[in-house]
Each structure stands twice: as structure tokens, then as C-alpha cells.
Structure 1
Amino acid sequence: MLVKFRSFFLISLITVGLVSCSKESTAQFGWNSFYDQDLPDLERSLLQPTSFQLGRDNLYFSDQNTIWWIYRIDEVKFAEKSLLVALYSVSGSPEPVEIDLREVSIEYDDENPILRQYYNPLPIGQYRLKIARGSEPFDSVDFQVIPADELTMSSGPLPGDQYRDSFTDDIEDDIAKYSKEQ
């Protein structure tokens, strides 16, 4: 009888653990970016954005702007006091290359836990930001850094359709121009 009770208890404990681990937290990434490179170091260290644009898709930033981001977790309370954040470059190599790894303390905005960080201007390319508990990533987002002169908005993420619309299609492509039959 004691063996059956222990087996039942162990199976119940494992089942509850698996169910609680499989529950995905709902979270949102928020973004803001601005040019702060001409400011003295002391002023730059005190400058923090207070509003963020939420988004996960079609994110574009200038190669001259500091990129601020938050990760706001809506449902799940964390026992941890910090999470790992890894930034990967996903352009120019077959596999993502880790370029930054930091442990970020969890802050509380009202009741919601949030992560708040920034990256100084990044080189042009594609990036992936991963959030991990321990060594297990549980969320990620992709974004691109593009030349400042190609960016039509001065701060924050730029939806992809607006970015594509910022180019003029009136200029005839050189390949099409020179491959026409004379």
C-alpha cells in the first residue's frame, strides 16, 4: 500500500511539474531607439526612455541609434531575480553567432516583471535576442539594423511595409534597362 501511495504521489508530482513547465508565459517586447552619441557620458547614463512601442515583427533600427528594449511578462511570476539575455548576429554565417550575453535583473512595473536593457549602436545586420531561464531559452525576437539614411522614421521599430514603401520604384532597374531588346 505504501509503495502504491509513493508511486501515485511521484507520478502526480511529475505530472504537475510538467504541466506547470509547459505553460508558456505571455510576454511582450517593447522598443525605443534614439541618437545619443553626441551626449556626454554622464548625461547618456541618466537618459532612459519612458515609453516603448510594443512589437515582435518587422523591427528595423538605425545603425546610429542606441536601441532600448523591455521584456514585459504578463502572466507568470518568476522565482528568479534575473534572467539571461543573449544577442546573436544571424547575418553573414550559417549559424547564429553570440555577440553578447548578460544576466539582467528583473524589475517590477506595478505587478508585472520586466527586463529593461539597451544596446549601443550595432553594426548593420540581422540580430536575434533570446531570453533564457538558466541555460534554457524560452523566448526570442528578430530585428534588423539598417543604415540611418534608409530609415524613414527617427525612433523605434519601423513596420516592414513602411520600410519597403520608403524606396522609390520609379527608377528603372539597371538589369532590366540593359537587357531590353533594341
Structure 2
Amino acid sequence: MTAATIMSTDVISLKADDSIAEALQLMCKNSIHNLPVLDKRGNFLGLFSLRRLSRELLPKAAKLDENSLLMHINFMPDSADELSERLIQLGQRPVSDLLEKSSKLRLCKPDTTLPELLQLLFESPVSLPVVVVEGKKKRLAGMVSNWDILTKLTVNLLSDKDSDPCKNTKKI
């Protein structure tokens, strides 16, 4: 098994100048957490994620220091109105402003083996998918999540490649 046989290829993507509000609508409509951002030629620029957005919605004081998230921040006043205002302001910005840091991303080629994929997913400091790219310009081929691997392995274990045992189940 390789990334090419496991990856999701029907990936919804964004352009760098799409708004965060547009991205959130796509995410809600399609129940997805991560969207690749591509240039006009389909080359991978970065990943827009709910994880990164969540960090931006934190009160400013919580973002001053990376280690501040380790402390209790429940003493910080923050009303629903303040949160709503931050979300409205963020929604107007382009997704390129909130791409995951490249140090958190894992990229591979379509011929990457299953053990290598598992290692990339395990090494990821956060639960982000592995982005499958082709060529020097990093043309997006697909993405592999833990869910993709679980589904493929389950299908193989049941030896019924025509059915998807995980279909109609809720992703957490």
C-alpha cells in the first residue's frame, strides 16, 4: 500500500486570497477540518486548519507566549460578543494569513509506503493530515489522514474491497 492507494483525492481546496469566512463555510458544509491552499496551477502553498483558526480566536493575552497555553487562562475576561467580533474580523482576512507553519506539516510523494505514512502521521506534532504532492513544484495529489488509513486497513481486514465499513459513521 502506498499514499496513492490510500489518499483522499477528492480534496476541496482554497486559493490564497479566499476569505477565512469562505473557508469556514466550506468546512461546515463538508464536515472537514483542513483545507489545502493552492496557487493557480494547483501547487500546494499551505494548509488552512480549524486548529490554527482556534488559536487565533483565543484572547490576545493567551497568544503572547507559546507556553501561555499551558497555563490556566479561564481568568481572562472574554465575552461572546468579543469572540464574535474577532471571528468577524478574521473572516474578512485571506486564508493565506493563517496557514499552518511549515514545521507542523508533513509532505510525501504518491509512492510513499504505508509504514512511512504511519511514521509521518505519528511524528506530526499536531493531528494534521499528510499532504501528498508531486514534482518539484509540489502539485497537490491528495491528502492522507488517520481516518483514511483506518478506513483502508479496515476494508482490507474484512477482505471486502467494494464496501466501506466506516461509511455513515460520524468523524470526531
TM-score normalised by the chain length of structure 1: 0.27
Q: TM-score, normalised by structure 2?
A: 0.28
More helix by share: 2
Select the structure of larger CA radius of gyration: 1
Tell which has more relative contact order, 1 or 2 (C-alpha 8 A, sep 6+).
2
Structure with higher strand content: 1
